[in-house]
Amino acid sequence: MAILEMKGIKKRFSGEEILKGIDLSCKEGEVLSIIGPSGSGKSTLLRIATFLENADSGTIIYDGKTVFQREAQPESLRKGGDSIGWDTANRQQAKALFGLVFQNFNLFPHWTVLENIIDPLIHVQKKEKSFAVEKGRALLERMGLSDKEGQYPCSLSGGQKQRVAIARALALEPKILFFDEPTSALDPELTGEVLRLIRSLKDERMAMVIVTHEMNFAREISDEVLFMAEGEVLCRGSSEAVFTAENERLQSFLGKIQ
């Protein structure tokens, strides 16, 4: 069964159609990569999947439970304020299933590395501090960052910050992780350490949806690839099928990026 399924996702911003009906799904142990030019709606799609943004219409299902469903309606009918489409109970449950890692790390600058990791355990999952600290330390060890636990994010390299952000997401034991360009703020030599970590998560069968401009990485790690442009999926399939597809728009994109 798919951990996440999205069907017919549409979104407009100021009248402009940003997502024109996107379908995707991600099963346990599966890596789905989303590639495509800047402005094609990739981040908006991840923000909708992680409830940071409302879709105008479409369906979102986590673990077989519908968390959002809204029919496409003409603008004129929507004026009266139709239902917002969320199933509040399912949405709350689904929040425990995913983690999100951003391009810019999103760590709290005035908290230590360890505090950044244990905060959601204490405040979201309501765990005892001693339990959270133990878990946080184990994660830091795994990240090779045990000696950084008392330091503040500003003293870390970009690659280390991103590994802390990933540890923070992993602390909550998500079933699926979303990455929005996790290495695009990093120097090439720091990119490698983050990509290695993501590969190790795949080896542990973590389901992941990854928006990335690292084409070699996407090609190697993905079970499925979506190529998006202007709010539409133009190509989808196995990594081999998409990267060799004879789609002009895709080939022009790949030619520019490599």
Nearest distance, CB of residue 204 and ligand ADP, angstroms: 27
40, 43, 116, 222: which one binds Mg ion (CB under 5 A)? 43
| 140 in Cβ contact with 146 (< 8 Å) | yes
Q: Please, what is the minimum distance in Å from the beta carbon of residue 185 to Mg ion?
A: 12
Which of these segments, 43-51, 110-118, 158-166, 227-235, binds Mg ion (CB under 5 A)?
43-51
Q: Restricting to residues 4-23, name those near ligand ADP by CB under 6 A.
A: 13, 18
Stretches 17-25, 36-44, 71-79, 148-156: which one binds Mg ion (CB under 5 A)? 36-44
Tokens of 98: 């995913």
CA distance 68 to 56: 10
Residues 42-101 that bind ligand ADP (CB under 6 A): 42-44
Only one residue has tokens 């389901």, namely 207
Structure tokens at 249: 């728009």
Stretch that binds ligand ADP, among 33-41, 115-123, 133-141, 162-170 (CB under 6 A): 33-41
Using the minimum distance from each CB to ligand ADP, give the nearer residue, 39 or 144. 39
Is the distance from CB of 207 to CB of 30 less than 8 angstroms?
yes
CA distance 194 to 74: 44
CB nearer Mg ion, residue 132 or residue 194: 194
For residue 45, is it left (φ>0), alpha (ψ between -120 and 50) or beta? alpha
**Maximal C-alpha separation, the chain:** 59
Say if CB 71 and CB 57 are below 8 A apart.
Answer: yes
Q: Could you tell me the CA-to-CA distances from 147 to 107, 129, 142 in Å, in that order? A: 18, 20, 12
Q: C-beta of 16: minimal distance to ligand ADP in Å?
A: 7
Residue 34 or 167 with smaller CB distance to Mg ion: 34
Q: Does 50 bind Mg ion (CB under 5 A)?
A: no
Q: What residues line the site for ligand ADP (CB under 6 A)?
A: 13, 18, 38-44
Q: What residues line the site for Mg ion (CB under 5 A)?
A: 43
